[in-house]
Amino acid sequence: MSRYEAVIGLEVHAQLLTRTKAFCSCATAFGAPPNTQVCPTCLGLPGALPVLNGKAVELAVRTALALDCAVRQESIFARKNYFYPDLPKGYQISQYDRPFSEHGHLDITVEKKGAEAVTKRAGITRVHMEEDAGKNTHDRGDVSVVDLNRSGTALVEIVGDPDLRSADEAVEYLKTVREILVFIGVNDGNLEEGSFRCDANVSIRPVGESKFGTRTELKNINSFKFVREAINYEIARQESVLECGGKIIQETRGWDEKASKTFSMRSKEEAQDYRYFPEPDLPPLVITEAFIETVRSTMPELPVAKRARFVRDHKQTPYAAQVLTTHPEVARFYEEAGALHGDFVKVGNFVQGEVLRDVRTSGLSATFPVTASQVAELLKLVDAGDISGKQAKEVYGKMVGTSKTPREWVSELGMQQVTDAAAINTVCQRVVDANPKQAEALKTGKVAMFGYFVGQVMKETKGSANPQMVNDALKRILGV
């Protein structure tokens, strides 16, 4: 047991899914040739004026509401001044002392070894709007290059309270934030492409101490795995510094993936004074009560509510509800197929057992191997006794990537389930006649032997006989 407790607060930067940038009409599409999505405003040319993107405000408010934040009716944009080659204006438009929203919270599920998972509420300090910078690349030998396509893209920054106490809690918090943003359609959740980024503030204090220790800030870590590793490394590093009688210095640290270590980037003394001041080129941001209500009334269902509904209305297990909501499109597909078929549990099982294996997701979109109506129809064929469950899986395998209906495949594969009572009876009789010893054993009480007969009949019919009818016929012939 460590003598220390970790204290962690996270800052998330999430790119809002607007078609155009925060303060100009340049496109935001990822992957365009460098410096092709720029204009005087996002290049910071003298005299160019920003005009706020209304869609960005809507998505930002949606974010704030999903995190249960209070929305300020009049907030202020501020200039955060610093010099860097990816920031042509020499300042970033952000929000400072009057952000548009504050005081929210988020519930995370914390797993503890050997104990039941518990729900923990983590505070959200604030959510504010800002613009992104461009991107520097340093892999061209002697030169560094700058791509300003991303410059001016609309972001929300979500600042969390220092409520987290372990790397696991921090990762759970991040996954929960990401899931919410993806489900409400404001962010594509892509850590690799940098549209969802996080900084982790980490400090430690002796167990029982109420004052916080000095924190370090870990910058821009681009995967959940690295977040966990970087925080754990940083906790251990701080412990060893304190144990050796040293002091933690407030600094910004980076994560070295290759060495699996954090390293110092700059200390507090070197930290810049951003000289924040109100942005003179933009009026105060006014968000009316009516606007908030409109956003609230069009808010997509949050993942937690969706799971609860799947458990309550569809009789899914909590585990199944979790799996069926791993992506908004998966949930939508399952609900569509379920509604067409009628039995959500059957459809949920089939989606989990077969379909999910072949689903490919990318950001907010997903491609499915088959359509929801193909799944519903296929399972209806099973219900009608036309094919067995085993045959349904085979048909599914054939159907992937084709537009043929399940019925077309069933007849093409010649796999109509045998529901002809006389035919089934004949096979059952043959199997019983060929196994007199087993039949005797069954009659003298060896109940498990019944399964042997079912198995033999299914083998003879290559799985095509209707299982219920086989059961009935065998019972009658064997007199059990």
Binding footprint of ligand ADP on the chain (CB under 6 A): 7-11, 159-162, 201-203, 212-213, 215
Size of the site for Zn ion (CB under 5 A): 5
DSSP 388: -
Q: Of the two residues 37 and 201, which places its CB atom closer to ligand ADP in the complex?
A: 201
Phi first, then psi: give them for residue 226, nearest 5 degrees. Answer: -70, -35
CA quadruple 203, 206, 209, 211: dihedral sign: negative
Residue 39 near which of Zn ion, ligand ADP, none (CB within 5-8 Å, type-dependent): Zn ion
CA distances from 425 to 432, 470, 473, 474 (A): 11, 8, 6, 8
Report whether 71 contacts 65 (CB < 8 A).
yes
What is the largest distance, in Å, between two alpha-carbon atoms of the chain? 98
Amino acid at 427: V
Q: Of the two residues 42 and 174, which places its CB atom closer to Zn ion in the complex?
A: 42
CA distances from 261 to 111, 218, 230, 268, 318 (A): 26, 11, 7, 20, 38
Q: Of the two residues 41 and 417, which places its CB atom closer to Zn ion in the complex?
A: 41
Q: Quote the tokens at residue 377.
A: 């129809």
- Residue 177 sits in the site that holds Zn ion (CB under 5 A): no
Residue 9 near which of ligand ADP, Zn ion, none (CB within 5-8 Å, type-dependent): ligand ADP
Q: Of the two residues 161 and 168, which places its CB atom closer to ligand ADP in the complex?
A: 161
Residue 399, helix vs strand vs coil: helix
Phi first, then psi: give them for residue 175, nearest 5 degrees. Answer: -65, -35
- Residue 154 sits in the site that holds Zn ion (CB under 5 A): no
Smallest gap from Cβ 32 to Zn ion, in A, equals: 13
Query: Cα separation of 68 and 16, whole Å?
Result: 18
Smallest gap from Cβ 205 to ligand ADP, in A, equals: 8
Residue 159 near which of Zn ion, ligand ADP, none (CB within 5-8 Å, type-dependent): ligand ADP
Query: Cα separation of 154 and 410, whole Å?
Result: 51
Smallest gap from Cβ 106 to ligand ADP, in A, equals: 13
Q: Of the two residues 130 and 377, which places its CB atom closer to ligand ADP in the complex?
A: 130
Report whether 200 contacts 231 (CB < 8 A).
yes
Residue 37 near which of Zn ion, ligand ADP, none (CB within 5-8 Å, type-dependent): none
Applying the rule CB under 5 A, the residues between 3 and 42 that interact with Zn ion are 24, 26, 39, 41-42
Q: Of the two residues 160 and 369, which places its CB atom closer to ligand ADP in the complex?
A: 160
Smallest gap from Cβ 94 to Zn ion, in A, equals: 17
Smallest gap from Cβ 177 to ligand ADP, in A, equals: 12
Smallest gap from Cβ 325 to ligand ADP, in A, equals: 27
Name the residue number minimizing CB distance to ligand ADP.
Answer: 9
Whose structure tokens read 């910071």?
Answer: 44
Q: Quote the tokens at residue 13.
A: 């930067």
Query: Cα separation of 269 and 107, whole Å?
Result: 36
Q: Of the two residues 157 and 377, which places its CB atom closer to ligand ADP in the complex?
A: 157
Report whether 225 contacts 399 (CB < 8 A).
no
Residue 217, helix vs strand vs coil: strand
Smallest gap from Cβ 148 to Zn ion, in A, equals: 9
Query: Cα separation of 32 and 42, whole Å?
Result: 16
Q: Of the two residues 7 and 184, which places its CB atom closer to ligand ADP in the complex?
A: 7
Encoded one letter per residue, x for contact with Zn ion by CB under 5 A and - for no contact, window 288-327 reads ----------------------------------------
Residue 7 near which of Zn ion, ligand ADP, none (CB within 5-8 Å, type-dependent): ligand ADP
Query: Cα separation of 463 and 413, whole Å?
Result: 14
Q: Is 115 exposed, middle or buried (0-12, 13-18, 19+ CB in 10 A)?
A: exposed
Residue 161 near which of ligand ADP, Zn ion, none (CB within 5-8 Å, type-dependent): ligand ADP
Residue 42 near which of Zn ion, ligand ADP, none (CB within 5-8 Å, type-dependent): Zn ion
Q: Quote the tokens at residue 382.
A: 């099973």
Q: Of the two residues 22 and 351, which places its CB atom closer to Zn ion in the complex?
A: 22
Residue 8 near which of Zn ion, ligand ADP, none (CB within 5-8 Å, type-dependent): ligand ADP
Smallest gap from Cβ 20 to Zn ion, in A, equals: 8
Smallest gap from Cβ 69 to ligand ADP, in A, equals: 14
Q: Of the two residues 10 and 148, which places its CB atom closer to Zn ion in the complex?
A: 148
What is the full DSSP assignment across 257-295? TTTTEEEEEEEGGGPPP---EE-TTS--EE--HHHHHHH
Q: Of the two residues 37 and 203, which places its CB atom closer to ligand ADP in the complex?
A: 203
Report whether 23 contacts 152 (CB < 8 A).
yes
Residue 160 near which of Zn ion, ligand ADP, none (CB within 5-8 Å, type-dependent): ligand ADP
Chain residues that interact with Zn ion, rule: CB under 5 A: 24, 26, 39, 41-42
